[in-house]
Structure 1
Amino acid sequence: MSKKLFCAAALLLAAAAHAQTTAVGVWKTIDDETGKPKSLVRISESNGELRGKIERLFRDASEDQNPKCVSCEGALKDQPILGMTIITGMKKDGEGYGGGQILDPASGKVYKSKMSLSDGGKKLDVRGYVGVPMFGRTQTWVRVE
């Protein structure tokens, strides 16, 4: 019996360790200006590509709890931000991820993006940029699960 328990515990630990070496999971985004939580984004993987979808927005009671992306263009114009896919095309690139895009629902702008894990997989540095990575900014997201 103890051998089975040991094996089960080892498998759980291995799964937890693997989860920390990938960007797949739920991440809390932090507002650059206020330092307060802004949203929860679930990053999932399909066919080697990462996609990120907004699962929750942290908003004051006085604010619209289900805002629309009024600044977005094309098919996303006036669509609910909650449930919106904001990260697309991200693929493993050496130690991090690259080749993808990230949408800023506040401005409606789409940026090239790259991401890398830090702090043992507890943080995700997400860089959005125009042209080359030097011309952009990085947000640090915090792993929730």
Structure 2
Amino acid sequence: MNLKLFSTCLLLGLSNSIFAQDLSGLWQQIDDKSGAPKAIIEIRKEANNTYSGKIIKITPRVGYTPRETCNKCPAPYTNQPILGMEVVKGLRYVEETNSYEHGQIIDPLAGKVYNAKMKLSSTNKRLTMRAYMGVSVLGRSQTWIRL
């Protein structure tokens, strides 16, 4: 009886750590300057084991009229609608961590593409996204909350 209980607990613990590695799902993007919600991003795992994310909803904010297209963005993003835009590409899981690196993220409001890395919290509910050019120390971080 005790062996069965121990085995069940062990399997549940192992399966929980496997699922904790997955970024897939819906994430509420929080503005790092104002603390207000900005958008809902859907992250999915691609066939090549990288993660990508697209904007599926722009969160309305008081005093802010959202831009509809990516005017200042480089090709292939130029004049694309922001809603539905793939803003995260190429994130790869780093073994035995809750980190994802070597990705890119575009800021459709500034029209700039940045290197990106993300770290999933131990609770699997928060994601810290770091966008930077060149060196990570010179970047900015945002918190995203799992929906």
With the shorter chain as reference, the TM-score category is: 0.7 to 0.9
- 1: CA distance between counterparts of 2:115 and 2:17? 29
Alignment-derived partner of residue 82 in structure 1: 83
- 2: CA distance between counterparts of 1:79 and 1:118? 32
- 1: CA distance between counterparts of 2:118 and 2:79? 28
Residue by residue over 1:63-121, the C-alpha shift from the partner in whole angstroms, topping out at 9 and shown as x without a partner, is: 65661111111121111000000001111123111111011111010001111101411
Alignment-derived partner of residue 26 in structure 1: 26
Tell me which moved more, 54-63 or 66-75. 54-63
Find out whether 1:98 has 2:98 as its counterpart: no
- Which consecutive segments of 4 or more residues in structure 1 shift more than 4 A? 14-19, 60-66
Structure 1 pair 60–123 and aligned structure 2 pair: CA distance change class (3 A): closer
Tell me which moved more, 88-97 or 66-75. 66-75
- Whether the aligned pair in 2 keeps the contact of 1:66 and 1:82 (CA below 8 Å) is no
- 2: CA distance between counterparts of 1:32 and 1:61? 17
- 2: CA distance between counterparts of 1:63 and 1:138? 22
Structure 2: give runs of 5+ residues left out of the alignment. 1-13
Alignment-derived partner of residue 113 in structure 1: 116
Find out whether 1:136 has 2:139 as its counterpart: yes
RMSD after superposition: 2.5
Q: Which amino acid aligns with 1:91?
A: R
TM-score (norm 1): 0.81
- 1: CA distance between counterparts of 2:59 and 2:69? 15
Alignment-derived partner of residue 44 in structure 1: 44
- Whether the aligned pair in 1 keeps the contact of 2:67 and 2:109 (CA below 8 Å) is no
Alignment-derived partner of residue 11 in structure 1: none
SS of corresponding position for 1:97: strand
Alignment-derived partner of residue 60 in structure 2: 59
Structure 1 pair 64–112 and aligned structure 2 pair: CA distance change class (3 A): same
- Whether the aligned pair in 2 keeps the contact of 1:20 and 1:122 (CA below 8 Å) is no
- 2: CA distance between counterparts of 1:67 and 1:78? 9
Structure 1 pair 16–38 and aligned structure 2 pair: CA distance change class (3 A): farther
- 2: CA distance between counterparts of 1:141 and 1:71? 25
- Whether the aligned pair in 1 keeps the contact of 2:54 and 2:87 (CA below 8 Å) is yes
Q: How many residues align?
A: 134
Q: Which amino acid aligns with 1:48?
A: N
- Whether the aligned pair in 1 keeps the contact of 2:32 and 2:141 (CA below 8 Å) is no
